[in-house]
Structure 1
Amino acid sequence: MKSKIEKEKYIVDQMILIYCKGNRHTAFTPCEKCRELKKYAHKRLSNCKFGEDKGFCSNCPMHCYKPDMRVKIKEVMKYSGPRMLFKNPAAVIKHIIESLKQYSFLK
């Protein structure tokens, strides 16, 4: 079974690919800028201080992304999030459930 971090890396990969296909000119592999963002996101996920107990980065009290990379990943997620419903509906449903769980624990 894949770890939570590995699952998140897979989802980030999918989102970056959707974004790159929709906003750039590559069809099968991400462009150089998107590959750099993917590499950076993987590094941040691998080094997350919360490990397997981590929540979603958007709910995290500690933002480990550099400001410019944070802007880029937010842009990718804003574009790709709705499109993930067609690419990987199960992941979207799991994300919604996990978001609701995290939100209820924060209150």
Structure 2
Amino acid sequence: MKRDMDLIRNILLEIEEKESATSWVTLSLEGFSEEQVNYHLNLLDQVGFLEVKKLIQAPYLVRNLTMRGHDFLGSIRNDELYANLKSRLGETIKSLPLSVVSSVAIEVAKEWTLKKLGFK
């Protein structure tokens, strides 16, 4: 299965909204299969963006974002910023390591913020 950055962003946004520090919840997203969501939850768990509990015969459970997850989401939350990032990276966004996408996203967010504040 291929990594889908839009699905990763949607998962992070959804978990941030449903966040509970003590409750484990299942996550389903319209237009994506349980298998796709679980695959991406696993990826996000591997890079330390989420707390995930992997079950054998059920959807994975997720509790909340980690600090790394919040930081990454902060750089891609804004629709305008995310569209700018996708435009700049083009199709390579699908194959670049997540660490590279994250670094570029932070730089795009910095540039956008400086312009919005009138420093650039």
Greater fraction of residues in strand: 2
Query: Could you tell me the TM-score, scaled by structure 1's length?
Result: 0.30
Query: Could you tell me the TM-score, scaled by structure 2's length?
Result: 0.27
Larger radius of gyration: 2
Higher relative contact order (CA 8 A, sep 6+): 1
Greater fraction of residues in helix: 1
